[in-house]
Amino acid sequence: MKKGVKAHGILVALRLLPYAVFVVVLVTFASLSSRFLQVQNFLNILVQAAPVAIAGIGMTFVLLTGGIDLSVGAVMYLSACILGVFFKSVAWPVGLLLMMACGSVWGALNAVFITRLRVVPFIVTLATLFIARGAALYLSNTKMIFLPKEVTGLNRLYWFGIPFAIWTLAVVLAVAWVILRETPFGRQIYAVGADPVAAEKAGLKVGRILFLVYCISGACAGMGGFVSITQVGAVSPSFALEREFAVIAAAVLGGTSLFGGRGGVGGTIFGAILIQTVNNGLVIINANPYIYPLVTAAIIFLAVLVDSLRERILKRLQARQIRVEEGGDARLASAPARLP
Amino acid sequence: MALLEAKGLTKSFYGVTVLHGVDLAIEPGEVLGLVGENGSGKSTSMNILGGVLQPDGGSMTLGGVPYAPRDPRDASRAGISFIHQELNLFPNLTVEENLYLDGFPFRFPFLPFIDRRRIRQRTKALLAEVDLPASPATPVSSLSPGERQMVEIAKALSGQARLIIFDEPTTSLTSREIERLFALISKLRARRIGMIYISHILHDVLRLCDHVLVLRDGALVGSDRAANMTPERMVTLMVGRTMEQMFPPRFEKPSATPPVLELRSVSQPGVVKNISLVVHRSEVVGVAGLLGSGRTELARIIFGLAPRQTGTILVEGRELARSPREVMQAGVAFLTEDRRLEGTLGSASIAHNLALPAVESYAGTGTGVLDSARLHAAVSGMARSVQLKASDIERQPINALSGGNQQKVVLGKWLMRSPKVLILDEPTRGIDVGAKYEIYRIINDLAAQGAAILVISSEIEELIGLSDRILVMCHGEFSAEFNKATFDPEEILRAAMKKPVHSSP
């Protein structure tokens, strides 16, 4: 089984590649600027990565079922507009819950199209991306929306020396981790992602599970949007524009597969940090701003490439196992996927 | 009282009756063997028992009460577990998670947290019952096919199964794993669990089962205690069919000229071993073999779709390249066993499908612009000559045709290229008798025009009716060769079912 061992080696290498990239990024920026390595800078990176990481946790749920949610950036913008236009004077915890509620309603809308009308998630969420952005532009008259001090001041709120954004991220991460690991719903998400038809046959309520993951993704996007507002202070028409790509890339860089059934929320945090580190480093070394999208694109490309390579190798390992018995008698051990 | 009793089960698909009133009964602790050729109705009847299909007629009782499952969950709740050839486990979850996926016990009342300790203990006990020395927390992806099957059986036991159906359980197991499975079956028998065992390996059936049922063409043709059965009698019952009127006559004799297709000791480890064969002009050579014998893999190797480690393949004396494109250019055509997936563009028109492989030769010289008129004439000519029954070949998508007519389109599209070598893998699978006859006639016509034809089939009568010679494949090797004078269905089946030579561990 030498070939199998080699394939497993490649799999491990692919799994570790994003971490190797992270090390290379750290070393490169550290050698180009002394400011990069300061503790304060790393704290900044973590705080700035929080919105993408939070939305990425929701995205991880969706990706694990084999779906995708392209509407998260637009949901961030729309829920922020609703808060800024209609509920300017509410207390911030109410505002946070309100944005999460907006997000999960939007997620439920996605889910209805996906589970009831059986439209593919990519198409549904691409359409709702434009609907949400359009609705938000209409609500805001394409003007900048300013939010009260109570919300924007949260950026300077520290508990036990830890900033608000990190607290939020930590709570979401802990809850998501427990849901995925320790509840039936979490394990069933993995089963649906591995094989939706078999999951249905095994008696799982696949429609309900899909419905919930899109609601979770929407709620997390709303929460990510709230944290983002506290950092930028105002909601411009380009708020969270194209943010869905960073969110998906964060999850995929963290080892969650676009093909479903594989990955987890821990990696997503790493992915978000990697993306933010690159952005931060480029700012610190005063790189040409027109280079940023190229670098981000390269990272997304790497993530997707690694993911599809892993999937191909795993499929090959699973599909056809040629087993050599003691004594050298080889038998074809592929289970034929049909009945005689 | 019988554990399960079925009376007069009938089932038809699209007007073709595949089960004609099958009766069966099984006692607690009994192992019932079910044998029959492909298409004899074994799978259909078991799918009815397992709730996958609903019968058109007939009734079933389970432990004396009427039993009519609407889906597999219904069946498993009633205590009937169906262990399919392709296993239904989730490789990305652990063994214990697979066992309790649709009903995890909770750690705290009203809080949806999995009680890990409880499922671990229960899983450990179930794994001990099936003698699988794996930890409950092992991911299924790291288990071998044999170990996964043990997990499936453990899952059946966790649901309090009273009847377990095994469908060809040994196809993907090593000989050691097979022994373990058989030991487990004896153990379950002692626990008064009823079992139905479907297999092509007749020795295994005789060894394991108390009672054997033989199905042929959807009807029960034999039922006896295993002690009164022999492999010979089972094969005779399985095969005995009249051959008249099933095959069109053939007049052409293969010519003795140099071979058109020649394989010299082709090997690919674990797939095929040392395969040599020749096919002459106007000759039809049949390849018999069970599922997994390597027969399909051989065809894919010739066509360049699968790798080979050693050996040469020649067409008219010239060595064949290893890419399907170049193989096609050398005059080889390949009809795959999976028509829907690999042979047709489902929603494209019939004409489109017919034209596909030949379209290049209808481009104007130099310009590359398609000569539509000439192509159209050729396509409609072909549709006529394969006697296609379609209303409008330009507009009707190929999906709208019956299986037999789809296959005629697929054959026709290769005929457009006038191939020198034609390889057919299961050319009549899922096709009714009438259409089969027409397909056989097309194959005969092709041979008459001088093509060298290689037919792979699991229906032995079909090979006997079509071929000049039959080669039998078993475990990746040719185990026997027959010519017209020595054709004997029972001998061929026996050669295909030869037990592998297991070296003692």
Identity of the residue in A202, A335, A339 whose CB atom sits nearest the CB atom of B145: A335
Tokens 């805001």 correspond to: A140
ipTM over 0.85: no
Length of chain B equals 505
Which residue ranges in chain B fall short of pLDDT 50? 242-243, 501-505
Contacts of A302 (CB under 8 A, 6+ apart): A17, A18, A21, A253
pLDDT in tens, B246-276: 677 776 677 777 889 999 999 888 888 889 9
Chain A residue whose CA is closest to B272 = A332
pLDDT given for residue B500 in this prediction? 53
Distances (CA, A) of A114 to A120, A198, A203: 6, 19, 20
Q: Number of Cβ pairs closer than 8 Å across A and B?
A: 123
**Exposed e or buried b per residue across B130-164, where buried means at least 16 C-beta atoms within 10 angstroms of its C-beta:** bebebebebebbebebbbbbbbbbbbbbbbebbbb
- Residue in B closest to A183 by C-alpha: B113
Compute CA distances A101 → A104, A209, A215, A221, whole Å. Answer: 5, 18, 9, 10
Q: What is the pLDDT of residues B371-417, one digit of tens each?
A: 778 788 888 888 887 777 777 777 777 777 767 788 888 888 888 87
Q: Inspect the interface and report whether the beta carbons of B86 and A337 lie closer than 8 Å.
A: yes
Would you say the C-alpha torsion B319, B321, B326, B332 has a positive or negative sign? positive
What pLDDT is stored for residue A340 in this prediction? Answer: 28
pLDDT score for A98: 94
Among B43, B56, B84, B50, CA closest to B70: B50
Q: In this complex, do B503 and A327 lie within 8 Å of one another by their Cβ atoms? A: yes
User: Cβ–Cβ of A182/B113 closer than 8 Å?
Assistant: yes
A107-141 burial, b at 16+ Cβ within 10 Å, e below that, comes to bebbbebbbeeeeebeebbeebbeebbebbeebbe
Cβ–Cβ under 8 Å, residues B49 and B165: yes
Residues of chain B in contact with residue A66, where contact means CB-CB under 8 angstroms, are: none
B219-225, strands of its sheet edge to edge: B80-83, B163-167, B194-198, B31-36, B211-216, B219-225
Give the burial class of B238: count Cβ atoms within 10 A of its Cβ; 0-12 exposed, 13-18 middle, 19 or more buried.
buried
B 269-298 near A (Cβ less than 8 A): 269-271, 291-294, 297
The answer to whether the Cβ–Cβ distance between B292 and A334 falls below 8 Å is yes
Q: What is the pLDDT of residue A327?
A: 30
State which amino acid sits at residue A229: I
Q: Which of B43, B101, B144 sits opposite A340 (nearest CB)?
A: B43
Tens of pLDDT, residue by residue, chain A (340 residues): 455 678 888 888 888 999 999 999 999 999 998 888 888 899 999 999 999 999 999 999 999 999 999 999 999 999 999 998 888 888 899 999 999 999 999 999 999 999 999 899 999 999 999 999 999 999 998 888 888 888 888 888 888 888 999 999 999 999 999 999 999 999 999 999 999 888 887 878 899 999 999 999 999 999 999 999 999 888 989 898 889 999 999 999 999 999 999 999 999 999 999 999 999 999 999 989 898 889 888 988 988 999 999 988 887 776 544 333 333 233 333 333 222 2
Q: How many CB atoms lie within 10 A of CB B426?
A: 23
Contact B364, B371 (CB under 8 A): yes
CA distance A23 to chain B (A): 29
As a whole number, the mean pLDDT across chain B is 84
pLDDT for position A335: 30
Q: Least CB-CB distance to A184: which of B112, B141, B270?
A: B112
Comparing CA positions, the residue from B176, B84, B416 lying closest to residue A323 is B176
The CA-CA-CA angle for residues A46, A300, A81, to 5°, reads 60
3-class secondary structure per residue, B130-178 = CCCCCCCCCEHHHCCHHHHHHHHHHHHHHCCCCEEEEECCCCCCCHHHH
Decide: residue A183, CB within 10 A, 0-12 exposed, 13-18 middle, 19+ buried.
Answer: middle
Using alpha carbons only, what angle is made at residue A58 by residues A53 and A63, rounded to the nearest 5 degrees? 110
Residue B286: strand pairing partners: B455, B470
Length of chain A: 340
B38, B91, B175 ranked by CB distance to A340: nearest: B38
Q: Do B92 and A190 touch (CB under 8 A)?
A: yes
Q: Tell me if A253 sits within 8 A of A275, measured CB to CB.
A: yes
- Cα–Cα distance between B231 and B299 in angstroms, integer? 30
To the nearest 10°, report the CA torsion of B320, B323, B329, B334: 90
Which two tokens mark A70? 């392209």
Chain B, window 377-396: residues with a beta carbon less than 8 angstroms from a chain A beta carbon: none
Q: What's the Cα-to-Cα distance from B8 to each of B36, B158, B169, B442, rounded to whole Å?
A: 18, 31, 27, 38
| Chain B residue numbers touching A178 (CB-CB < 8 A) | 113
Q: Chain A contact for B110, CB < 8 A?
A: no
Contacts of A203 in chain B (CB under 8 A): 73, 102
Q: Which of A195, A324, A340 sits opposite B291 (nearest CB)?
A: A340
The whole-model pTM stands at: 0.74
- List, in order, residues 6 or more apart from B223 with CB less than 8 Å away: B211, B212, B213, B214
* Residue B420 three-state SS: coil
- DSSP letter assigned to residue A274: H
